[in-house]
Chain A
Amino acid sequence: MRQKGNKTDAIVQADQVSRSFGSIVALEHVSLSIPSGRIFGLLGPSGSGKTTLIRLAAGALSPDSGTIRVLGQIMPNRETTAHIGYMTQAAALYPDLSLRENLNFFGALYDVPTGELRARIEEITSEVGLFDRLDSQLQTFSGGMRQRASLACALLHRPELLILDEPTVGLDPVLRRSFWQRFRELADQGRTLIVSSHIMDEADRCDELAFLRDGRLLATGSPDALRAQTGCQDLEDAFLALADALTTAPSGERR
C-alpha cells in the first residue's frame, strides 16, 4: 500500500486557517492534522464551516490566512489533486450524460489507464449498486442514486485521500450502513477519508473527530477521548458541553 512516512503521518495539515466570505467568517484560525489510513469525521451544525474546510483541503478555495497542506503540498495545488477524490455536497455531475459517460469523462481527467477504465467503472458501480443503471442519464436518477454516482466518481481513480462532504445525507438506513462499510474497507486498505456530517450517530464510526462550530474548532480526538474529556457518554452531549465551554470562556483557545 501507500508509504508516505517521510514526515509525520499526517496527510492533511491545517495551520491557523481562516477564510471569510464578505463579512461572514466561515473559518477562523483552524489548526488540525489528519492522520492517514483513518476515517476522520468533521462534525458540526449547519453553517459551522465544514464545507468550507473541505473545499480548502480539496483545493477549491484558498485560505485568507494560514496554510493547508495535503500530502505535504500547500493547497490549492494541481499536482496534488490527482491523489484526492472529492465528493461535493451536491452531486455535481452532468445530468444530461449517462453514468457511464460521466465516469468515462472523469476517468480520463484523472488519467485512469484506458485499458482499465471500463472494468473499473463496472466494478465501482456494482459496489454502489448502480451497475444496471450505467447507461441511464443522471437526470433520471433519484437523490440517493445521484449520491452513489457521486461517490463512485470520487473513488474511480483510487485516490489515497477521499474528501466526502456529507456523503450519506438523504440515504436510507440500509444504504447508509453500506456506505460506512465501504468507508471502513477503504480505510483498511490504507486510504484516508475525511467525512463531514451533522449526524452524531455517524461520529462513532469515525476514528478521529473534529467538532466545528461557528467556524471554530471546538475539539479534536477519537470518540472515546472526547467522551472522556467531557464526561459525557453521548457524543451529542459531548458536543454541546464543548460548545457551552466555548461560549462561557469566549477567548478559549484549544489545542
Chain B
Amino acid sequence: MSRRRVLALATRIVRQFRRDRRTLILMLIAPILVISLLAYIYRGGTHHVSLAIVNGDASPVAAQLVAGLSDSQALTVKTMSAADATRAIKQNDIDAVLTLPDNLSLTGSTPQTLTVTLEGSQPNTSSAVLNALNQALPTTVVRALNPAGVPLKLNPVFLHGGPQFDQLDYFAPTFIGFFAFFFVFLLTSVSFLRERIQGSIERLMVSPLSRAEIVLGYMLGFAVFAALQSVVLVLYCVYAIHIHYTGHILLVFFFTLLLTIGSVNMGIFLSTFARTELQVVQFIPIVITPQGLLSGIIWPLSSLPGPLRILADLMPLTYANEALRGVMIRGDQLGALWLQTGVLVGFAALMVILAASTLHREIA
C-alpha cells in the first residue's frame, strides 16, 4: 500500500470533478432546493385554515369570541354542533374545533382554558391554527367583559401527531444522508465507467496500483465531495431553515461518511454491469428510488405493510436515516446507535469486497 499512489488517485478524482462545475453545483444546490421547497410547503406562507366553533353557551363573552375569531384573516370560522364538528374534523373537512364551555365568564381570577382539537396529521396546519388563535384571542374580548384581564389559555388536543412534531424536522436529517448516498453513487459509477470507456482502467491495471489502492483512492476522492455536500447542507438546515437539532454535529458527518464508503464501492461494483452512462442512470430506479421511498424518509417504517417492512429492514439507508434522526432529533450518542453503526459498517465492508472483486488485474 503506497500512500502516494492512493493520494495521487484521490487528487486526480478531485481535480476532474472540480473541473465539472455543473455537476459540482448540482450536487450542492439540488439538496438545498429540495429542502427549501419542503420548508416552504411545511412552514412558509399563510395558511387559510378552517375552524369550527362549538358554542354551547349564550354568554356575551362567547358571542364576542365567535365574532372576533370570525374577523381573523387567517381563519375561516363556522359554528356547529358538537356532533357535526366531530364528524367534520374526522372527515378532514375542517382543521380544528374550538369548544367553548358552558357559562364562559371571565369574572373570576383563574385563567380560562379553551380546548382546541386539532386534526394534526399535517403539522404545518396545526401550527397555523394555534398561531392564528393565539394572535386573535387576547384582542377579541372587550375590556368591559374582562375587567380583571383574565388570560384565555388554549389546550390543544391532537387527533393525530403531537405538538412538537414538525415534519420538516423529521425529514431534514435523512436528506443529508440520502443526498450523499445518491450523488456519490452516481458520480462514482459514472467516473468508473469512464475509466473503462477511455481505456485508462487498462493503464491502471498494468501499473503498480493495487486493488486496495484503487478502492481507497476512489473512496478518499469522493469522500471530499460528500463531506463538502453534507457540511453545506447541515449548515443550511441548521442556520437557514432552523431545523430542530440537538445532537453532535460530528456524528452527523460520521454517519454520512460511513454511508458514502458503501456508496462509492457500490458505484464501482455496479458500474461493471453498465456499458454506457445511460445504463448507469438505469440503476437509479433499482437501487436508489426504493431506498428513498421505503427507508423511512417520508413514511415512517411502522406505516409500511409487512413485506415492505422486511425490505426496508434490508436497506442500508434505513439504518442511516435512523442514525441521523437519532443524532439530530434526539441527540443520541454513538452508544445508542450501535445497531445502525454496525449495519452501516457491514454494508460498507460488503461493498468494498464486491468492488474489489470486480477489479481484476485482467480486463477482458
Bound pair: A and B?
yes
Query: Which residue numbers of A lie inside 8 Å of B, CB to CB?
Result: 21, 55, 58-62, 76, 78-79, 81-82, 84, 86, 88, 90-97, 101, 104-106, 108-111, 114, 153
Assembled-state Cα–Cα distance A78/B362 (Å)? 11
Q: 10 A-B residue contacts at CB 8 Å? A: A59-B206, A60-B205, A61-B362, A92-B200, A101-B15, A105-B9, A105-B12, A108-B5, A110-B208, A111-B5
Question: Does B206 lie within 8 Å of A94, measured CB to CB?
Answer: no
Known: A101-B15, A111-B4. A88 touches B199 (CB 8 A): yes
Complex partner residue of B364 from A21, A91, A93, A109, CB under 8 angstroms: A21
**What residue in chain A is nearest B201 (Cβ atoms)?**
A92
Least Cβ–Cβ distance between B11 and chain A, in angstroms: 8
Question: Does B15 lie within 8 Å of A58, measured CB to CB?
Answer: no
Least Cβ–Cβ distance between B49 and chain A, in angstroms: 53
Query: Which residue numbers of B lie inside 8 Å of A, CB to CB?
Result: 2, 4-5, 7-9, 11-12, 15-16, 19-20, 198-200, 202-210, 361-364
Q: Which 4 A-B pairs have the closest CB atoms?
A: A108-B8, A92-B199, A109-B207, A76-B361
Question: Does B16 lie within 8 Å of A97, measured CB to CB?
Answer: yes
Query: Which chain B residues border A81 with CB–CB below 8 Å?
Result: 206-208
Known: A88-B203, A108-B5, A109-B204. A60 touches B209 (CB 8 A): no
Query: Which chain B residues border A86 with CB–CB below 8 Å?
Result: 203, 206
Question: Does A94 lie within 8 Å of B204, measured CB to CB?
Answer: no
**What residue in chain A is nearest B19 (Cβ atoms)?**
A96
Least Cβ–Cβ distance between B188 and chain A, in angstroms: 16
Interface of B is mostly: helix
Q: How many residue pairs, one in A and one in B, have C-beta atoms under 8 Å apart?
A: 85
Least Cβ–Cβ distance between A221 and chain B, in angstroms: 28
**What residue in chain A is nearest B200 (Cβ atoms)?**
A92
Query: Which chain B residues border A90 with CB–CB below 8 Å?
Result: 198-199
Query: Which chain B residues border A95 with CB–CB below 8 Å?
Result: 198
Assembled-state Cα–Cα distance A92/B197 (Å)? 9
Known: A108-B4, A111-B4. A76 touches B362 (CB 8 A): yes
Assembled-state Cα–Cα distance A209/B12 (Å)? 39
Question: Does A109 lie within 8 Å of B362, measured CB to CB?
Answer: no
Query: Which chain A residues border B208 with CB–CB below 8 Å?
Result: 78-79, 81-82, 109-111
Known: A81-B208, A108-B4, A109-B208. A93 touches B16 (CB 8 A): no
Known: A76-B362, A81-B206, A111-B4. A94 touches B19 (CB 8 A): no
Least Cβ–Cβ distance between B144 and chain A, in angstroms: 79
Question: Does A93 lie within 8 Å of B4, measured CB to CB?
Answer: no
Query: Which chain B residues border A88 with CB–CB below 8 Å?
Result: 199, 202-203
Known: A82-B208, A86-B203, A94-B200. A105 touches B8 (CB 8 A): yes
Assembled-state Cα–Cα distance A81/B2 (Å)? 15
Least Cβ–Cβ distance between B358 and chain A, in angstroms: 16
